[in-house]
Structure 1
Amino acid sequence: MPKRSKLRFLPSFAMSAAFTAAGFVAAIAVNYLSSVANPPAWLSLIRDHPLIALGLFGLVMFALPTFNSIYERIGPDPASSDDLIGMEERIGSRFDTIEVGQLRDDERVLSRLPPYVELLLKSDMDRAGTWNLIAPFTDENVDPRQLAGEWSRAVPSAVSELSAQGCLVVAELLRAYGQPIGAIESIERALGLGVSSRPYWHFRCAQIVWQVEGEDSNRAAEYLNSALEIDPMYPLVNAALRCHQGAYADASQYLVTWNAATAWEQDAAAGVAASIAWRQGLQDEAILAIERIATSTSHAGLLLQLAQLLRYRSVRGNGDSRWKDAFRALDLALQARNSRRVWRGDSAEAVAAAAQAAIIVDDMPQVWSITRPEPEGTATKAEAGDPRVLPMAAAAAAQTGRLSQAREIADATDDGLAKLLIEAEIASSQSTVGNNNDAIAKWEEVLAASVSDEDKVQALRALALEGSTNQAAIEALKQRQSAAVEEIRLIEQVMTVRGSNADELLRQLESETQLASVRRAELLRADDKPLEAAEVLIDATERWENPRLLSMAIDSYMEAGEWERAAEAAQLVLADSGRLWAGRATVLRRLMVIQEVLKDWPKLAAVCRGLLEIDEQDDDARWSLAYAEFRNGEDRRAWETLRRLGSLRASTKHRAIFLLELARRFSDSEEMARTGLSQLQAFPDDEDIHAAVIHAISMRRDNADLPADVSREVSAAWSTFLELYPESTHFTAYTLPEDDHPLAEIETILQEQAATYERVLKMISDQLAPIGLLDRVVGKPYAAIFPYRPLGYHRIATVAQQDIDIELGHAREMRTRGCILDASALFTLALIPDVASTLIALIGRPAATAAAISDVLAADDYFSLPVAGTLGFDSKHGKIFAAGIEDDVRRRQHKQVRAMLDMVRSLRRIMHPAMIHLDSISSNGEPPWLLNLDAAKHANAALWCDDLGLRRLAHGLGVRTFGTVSLISVALERNIIDEENFSRIILALLREYVVDLPFDEQSLLSLAAGDEWEPRAAAVVLSRAAAWVKPESSVLVLRRALRNAPPVSLAAWLHSAFVGIKGAFGEADLRENLVGVIAAIMREAWAGPGHLGAAEVALNELVSDMAGEIVRAVLNDLWKYVSNRHSSEEAAMIFLYLAGQLDDTNRHYAMAVVLGTG
């Protein structure tokens, strides 16, 4: 309505002003005229003619309101309330018309229509009229299925005004929303109006009739015949008729060259082509017919048809990969679901199809996700509540351990059949052989409530699997579902076989169904024959190519304790099934258990990584991976693997102890303490956890002080442990009485330990037993023994030429052979790091056992622990001693062991967790050195070992063995190292107390000179019996040492030499040999009283019982030598001078010799 001008108020203003002015003038005039005798001429008129003036004034007063009223009425009259309501309705109707007209061009709105409807609408000449009628179907507040039902029952009058194309739009709407009868009527209406491509729409009517009445419908045949009357050569109709008649070759020919003009004709042609191929048993061609257009079609029903074909081929296993087919079916079903969700079609059918595909790949968690609404899954509430979806959701719940939720689903549904199906699935999931009456009863109820043939077949198949049947129902279905009935009868025959001849009967059925093999295996396992059951399933796998059978064989092998065969079967099923199979995760979990039992840590780690690729939140896989890495020598990597979880929560006792072990090594003090205290809270009543926490905190690598509050909590944990577990065996308790001998109890224990140590040490030294015998005695890892030089030296080579030649021959063969490295060899390589890799490269396949790797890792941890010193018992002096450990020495030892660890990590792993060829020597785990030897024998590999005792044992068992010195000699032979480097390596080894090397006097003299003639490595070499094989060279080294050594070191040099002589020549000739050596030394010009005195000290230390006798024999020889070269007086002076540092007895004897009375 136009807005009125403000000037319409001017007359009212003017009238008011005129009245005011007139009144004002009249008042002035009256006042004025009353006092003036001669007024102006114009006022005299008023005075002279008052009536006329009054009339004129009244006329003006009347004219002004009249003019004002007329002016205000220029324009419409004010609207009433009824006028406003009518106007609003007219405006709303106009806006609605405009909006609906605009929406027909909005693609977002059009997409809410079924695809065929959208295509037909876009080609409709009377698009506006059709759109105005069907627009409510796009309204999000309208249920399209309900609206379609209303239209089918009472067709809107506006439909009669539609064009032929508009009627087709209505027909496709009604068909898409579940009203096939109304759809056919609308198509017939369109045909009556002269729609184009009439043969196709007759075919379309036949298609819809087939869906309602089945393929034998006479009405559908009438539609096809009507189409042929219009166009006898129409390919689609001819192909459909020939297919129905069984003339498949002719049917195919009609479609080969036909080029469909419309999208719906292309879809129909693909569906008919697939049906023709399928009826001929050509599964691949049927699938290919639809696959050609699968990416371009908008028809969700065609995608579901393709998904059904792929599911069938997946079950039969006739494609390249059953899992690929199943996953493709799953993907197609989800595409169809998403498409139908857009236009609010029957997406529940697609959800059911997707769930069926997920069931085929054994992915029950995905079935649950597909069929359940948020937040548990991806289905809408309508989809999740559909009777076709609910039973599969319940089955998934039962299979994944959600029985309570399965029952909730049953209670929540109003569909009687769906409720019964769910209850039956739950009962079947809990049934066992001989205890399945409840499941049978439930499936009988399902059968009784079923109306469709499909539901009845499902119930009968389930009954057959439970070993039951319903003959009346089977007879009723025999004509209509002959193939299904035959399958059900075969299942029943298999599941009801029992008795002594059951195995024979099932053998006869194995060629017909794989269920017979499964049943045979079940009966064999029930008869405690799991190995035979596994073999049955292996054979069935080869026949049916079904990896599920192989996975069942894995269980049988595990039950039989055949872990290696179980691992082989698991590897085979993983290879055959491919990465798409959802059951792959289940097999990987079984393989994880198998590899842990086999202690094959690299393979266990690989299996765990495979599980983490499937689900990175898999807690079991991550903990097992960390444990495998730890046992494989990668302790830091194990810690990092667990740290990737974020917060570290150990759900089991063993995990908690493992976590404490890693935290002790790699976390700082405070974090370690808090981790331990958190485990106490998680496991408050577990003695083992309590002890592990205290141990981890006490033996943590980071020895920094704890914060005050944490320290108090740790102290409280100690106190609590002692109160709760006073008799615990985790710690050794000592009583310290308040008397003169507070350490009496400890002294007894230490004395026993010292006696055991000395006994084993003597066995190693005298009987050439393996050094590894010490590991249990000293309580250290085997690899941690070598840095301590348990015998005072590290002996690695033999002195027997025959052994040298044999071992050198073995070393020469190593270029193409496998070899296992012992920790003794690793220690030697750690002493010569610059050539270690060169020597390892001479081995074709160097390897280490898993036990050796774990042992070296334990040695590394041992040298990382904070140690104050050593408490022991000195047997020689009969008292307890406490020895401190120098930090530099400790660091050097740790560095050597860390070098060993770095080398062993680079080697190939050999899993050899238990003895095979040798007898066990310990109930508390086999020692790594013995496992190395057993593994070498089992693998027909050589043993690289630098412990003479272990090499001697290996020789006796027929194991090829050699030492580092042999390999160094091979490197020299092959010019990999030169003479100079060879000498440098030998010198480096000698400096590290490595003995039994080829004797080289120049190297020893160079080494002694480098040590400033202190009795160190060179003296140790002289103490070895091997050094005295050629005594001339040894005596030469000894002479040079005695000539240059400081006086305080002379006794040590001589003692070392005497020990070597005693070992080389034995007790029988010991006196003569020692006398000869000492006499020869004392004849040297540089010899003095200190040398003879040192010899006396050394003799008293080594052979105290004959020391005096030897000294006196030396004095006799020395007196003869001196007296023959000097005068009597000079000889006496020299002789007494040389004897001046002997003890009193021997000096008196020397004087007696001079006096001739000795």
Structure 2
Amino acid sequence: MRPWLAVGVNYGNILRHSVEAPGEQLRGRWLVREAQLPDRLKELSRSSEPLILAAWRDEPDLTWSLVTALTSSEHRPSDVVAGWARHTPSWLRDAPSQVQIAAGDLADAYGAPILAADLFLAASEKGVGRRDFWLARAALLFRDHARPAKEGEALAALGAPAGVSEPYARIVVALLSGDTRTADRDLDRWSPSPADRALHTALRLRVLDAELNGAMPSREALDHAINLLAASLREQWTAGFAVGRARFLIWRVSRGHSPNAPADLRDAYDLAVRARDDRRRYRGDSAEAVALACQAALIADDFRSVLAVGTVARDGATEHEAAAPAIRSYVAAAAMQLGDLDLARDSASRVDDQALRARLHALAAEARGENARSHWLRAVELARDDDQQLAIALAGLADAGGLDPAQIEDFAARHPDEAAEILAMSDLATGNTDAAISQLRPRRRHSVTAALALAKAYQVAGQVDNQIRTLPERTISTTHRCTSPP
């Protein structure tokens, strides 16, 4: 079925009634565009298609300019919208609201969220349909990207919360004001149309994130997020939700909360590869998906799969993907494990992130049998206020036997369980096996990583029976210390 028929748009009528062609030459031009539009739409984000068709109905000339600009073979769509974000072309700035909405949705899909929010705000001032909905989307994007003045402008345009009747907008207003209870209640009351179900799921995840208030997610919170996304993907596939679910699955494994780590990592890898293929079709951010596939494979000790998906080859990464810093770091770590030190050095040398490079240098030193403490210390210093990076660096330093308990005090105040495991690793590395066992035993049923460390401690202590009883049925690797949890 042709895509415009699926959304109830009579394409022939659009062509006939949107423009009165004064002559055969102009009519011929429109017939050519009519024939080309379906193929052009296949090259763009599928989620934006209904908005593009709606804009075409009202403003075919400007919509054609929008579509052709983003489907040109000369430039990636992300580069085009980045240019528009720096200097919005006059035709887009002055375009009717429906064109601005379609352009904004595409800008969001291709990595220009502030441009998207600005276009939604501009369209709302021109009386676009579902005005409150687009104002709410703008406000949320401005909040996500720390534009408080613009967020306030969008919320002021919405008016008093009591006067907001659009369900999505009402929930966003509650969320942005910190009222998660009202947001959760209104989500329960909202029966979204099929077109809005993905947004409903996205808001559920935002409520969950707001309730965590910056804390590390619990097992229950991760399970809830993973299940929400699984249900949504069963109903309708979207690359964004696939990437999100892969990220949460990897996080569940990394946090030691997975009931079946190998299965979670396989699912994450498969979701990421499928999302990569989907995003390649419309030249979206396929590198993000490849990075997740590499991360899942690395944690699973499947180093050859990391190289297969993360390096340039016919069935591997594109040059654009392979150049991404995160992918280079995973390739470097996998290459070290496989003994390909030339590839490891080359990949690591191309990583700009200093904290990540320090972790890679530490792993390289360990692979050569050298003392890696100085590299882990440098990684701790560079992690600064990023607790995810700091946890990895502290764990590496502890495993190298170089952790000073004073170095972990602030982190322990924020994340006591994780700090207890890191301190136990330090005890084990420095020969204080009894203290390590004492620290890890209470955590063994709640954390796979704690159970693995406890089993290692029992092995060092010569308590083989306890080691066997402690080993979890499904274990994972701990060779992913170059990476940050998602």
Q: Structure 1 residues 493, 159: CA separation in 2 closer, same or farther (over 3 Å shift)?
A: same
Cα separation, partners in 2 of 1:382 and 1:456, compared to 1, 3 Å: farther
The alpha-carbon distance between structure 1 residues 320 and 416, as it changes in their structure 2 partners (threshold 3 A), is: closer
Change (3 A) 1:317 1:522: closer
Are the equivalent residues in 1 in contact too, given 2:268–2:293 (CA < 8 A)? Answer: yes
Query: Normalising by the residue count of structure 1, what TM-score does the alignment of the two structures yield?
Result: 0.34
Q: 1:283 to 1:229 in 2, by over 3 A?
A: same
Find the partner of 1:179 among 112, 126, 130: 112
Tell me, yes or no, if structure 1 residue 133 matches structure 2 residue 62. no
Structure 1 residues 218, 299: CA separation in 2 closer, same or farther (over 3 Å shift)? farther
C-alpha distance 112-357 of structure 1, shift in aligned 2 (>3 A)? same
Partners of 1:254 and 1:351 in 2: CA distance: 36
For the residue of structure 2 that corresponds to 1:510, the secondary structure is helix
Number of the residue aligned with 1:11: none
> Which of 531, 535, 538 is the matching residue for 2:465?
535
Supply the distance in 2 between the matched residues of 1:500 and 1:298 (Cα, whole angstroms). 51
- Match in the other structure for 2:396: 462
1:925-1074 → structure 2 map (5 Å cutoff) = none
The 2-side partners of 1:450 and 1:160 are apart by 41
- Counterparts of 1:302 and 1:129, CA distance in 2: 33
Equivalent in 360, 368, 392 of residue 307 of structure 2:
368
Residue 344 (structure 2) aligned to one of 383, 406, 414: 406
For 2:360, which of 419, 422, 434 is the aligned residue?
A: 422
Q: Aligned-pair distance for 1:255?
A: 2.0
Give the distance between the partners of 2:94 and 2:393, measured in 1 at CA.
Answer: 50
Query: Relative contact order (C-alpha < 8 Å, sep 6+): which is higher?
Result: 2
CA distance in 1, matches of 2:186, 2:255: 30
**C-alpha separation in 2, matches of 1:473 and 1:224:** 43
Partner of 2:44: 113
Q: Aligned ranges for residues 750-1149 of structure 1 at < 5 Å?
A: none
Q: CA deviation at 1:272?
A: 1.6
* 1:203/1:223 contact within 8 Å kept: yes
Question: Secondary structure at 1:357's aligned position in 2?
Answer: helix
RMSD of aligned Cα (Å): 3.8
Superimposed CA distance per residue, residues 921-979 of structure 1 (whole angstroms, 9 cap, x where no aligned partner): xxxxxxxxxxxxxxxxxxxxxxxxxxxxxxxxxxxxxxxxxxxxxxxxxxxxxxxxxxx
Structure 1, unmatched stretches of 5+, are 1-92, 553-1158
Inter-CA distance 99–340: structure 2 relative to 1 (3 Å threshold):
farther
Distance 1:315 1:154, change over 3 A: closer
Please tell me whether residue 307 in structure 1 is matched to residue 234 in structure 2: no
Shift of 1:198: 1.9
Residue aligning to 2:426: 496
Q: Tell me how far apart the structure 2 counterparts of residues 470 and 364 of structure 1 sit (CA, whole Å).
A: 32
The answer to whether the 8 A contact 1:394-1:426 is kept is: no
CA deviation after TM superposition for structure 1 residue 208, in Å:
1.8
Q: Is the contact made by 2:452 and 2:475 (CA closer than 8 Å) also made in structure 1?
A: no
Please tell me whether the aligned partners of residues 138 and 154 of structure 2 are also in contact (alpha carbons under 8 angstroms).
yes
Cα deviation for residue 473 of structure 1 reads 8.1
Please tell me whether residue 236 in structure 1 is matched to residue 236 in structure 2.
no
Partner of 1:276: 207
Please list the CA deviations of residues 1030-1079 of structure 1 after superposition, one character each: whole Å capped at 9, or x if unmatched: xxxxxxxxxxxxxxxxxxxxxxxxxxxxxxxxxxxxxxxxxxxxxxxxxx
Instruction: Choose the corresponding residue for 2:269, options 327, 330, 339.
Output: 330
1:196 to 1:526, Cα distance in 2 relative to 1, 3 A:
same
1:416 to partner: Cα distance: 5.6
Q: Match for 2:397: what amino acid? A: L
Partners of 1:333 and 1:354 within 8 A in 2 = yes
Separation in structure 2 between the aligned mates of residue 500 and residue 414 of structure 1, nearest angstrom: 36
Secondary structure of 1:142's aligned partner: coil
Contact 1:495 1:519 in 2 (8 A): yes
Aligned-pair distance for 1:305? 1.7
- Pick closer, same or farther for the CA change 1:284–1:245 going to 2, 3 Å: farther
Moved more, 354-363 or 518-527: 518-527
Residue deviations 1:283-315, cap 9 Å, x none?
444333222221454642222222222333445
Using the TM superposition, give the Cα deviation of residue 391 of structure 1 relative to its aligned residue in structure 2, in angstroms. Answer: 1.0
**Contact persistence 2:433–2:460 (CA under 8 A):** no
Asked whether 1:167 is paired with 2:100, we answer yes
Quick one: structure 1 residues 381 and 160, their matched pair in 2 at CA, closer, same or farther if it must change by over 3 Å? Answer: closer
Report the residue type matching 2:134 in the other structure: W
Q: CA deviation at 1:191?
A: 0.9
Aligned to 1:548: 475
CA distance in 1, matches of 2:385, 2:448: 28
Distance apart, 1:385 and its partner CA? 1.4
Deviation readout 1:796-854 (Å, 9 max, x if unpaired): xxxxxxxxxxxxxxxxxxxxxxxxxxxxxxxxxxxxxxxxxxxxxxxxxxxxxxxxxxx
Partner residue, 1:252? 184
Whether the aligned pair in 2 keeps the contact of 1:464 and 1:491 (CA below 8 Å) is no
Q: How many angstroms apart in 1 are the aligned matches of 2:407 and 2:61?
A: 53
Amino acid at match of 1:408: D
Q: Matched residue pairs, number?
A: 438
Is the Cα contact below 8 Å between 1:111 and 1:343 reproduced in 2?
yes
Indicate how the Cα distance of structure 1 residues 156 and 477 shifts in structure 2: closer, same or farther if over 3 A, else same. Answer: farther
Q: Which runs of 5+ in 2 are unaligned?
A: 1-24, 213-219, 479-486
Change (3 A) 1:131 1:366: same
Structure 2 vs 1, CA of residues 417 and 172 (structure 1 numbering), >3 Å: closer, same or farther?
farther
Tell me by how many angstroms 1:325 deviates.
2.9
TM-score, length-normalised on structure 2?
A: 0.76
Provide the C-alpha distance between the structure 1 equivalents of 2:206 and 2:87, rounded to a whole number of angstroms.
Answer: 36
Of 195, 199, 207, the match for 2:128: 195
> Is the Cα–Cα contact under 8 Å of residues 465 and 491 in structure 1 kept in the other structure?
no
Residue 320 (structure 2) pairs with residue 382 (structure 1): yes
Residues 461-499 of structure 1: CA distance to partner in whole angstroms, max 9, x if unpaired?
A: 4334434458898678789xx33xx45532431122167
Give the distance between the partners of 1:96 and 1:345, measured in 2 at CA: 32
Q: Structure 1 residues 311 and 507 mapped into 2: Cα distance closer, same or farther (>3 Å)?
A: same
Q: Which amino acid is 1:494 matched to?
A: A
Which whole-Å CA distance do the structure 1 matches of 2:292 and 2:252 have between them?
A: 15
Rounded to whole Å, the distance in 2 between the matches of 1:471 and 1:193 is 60
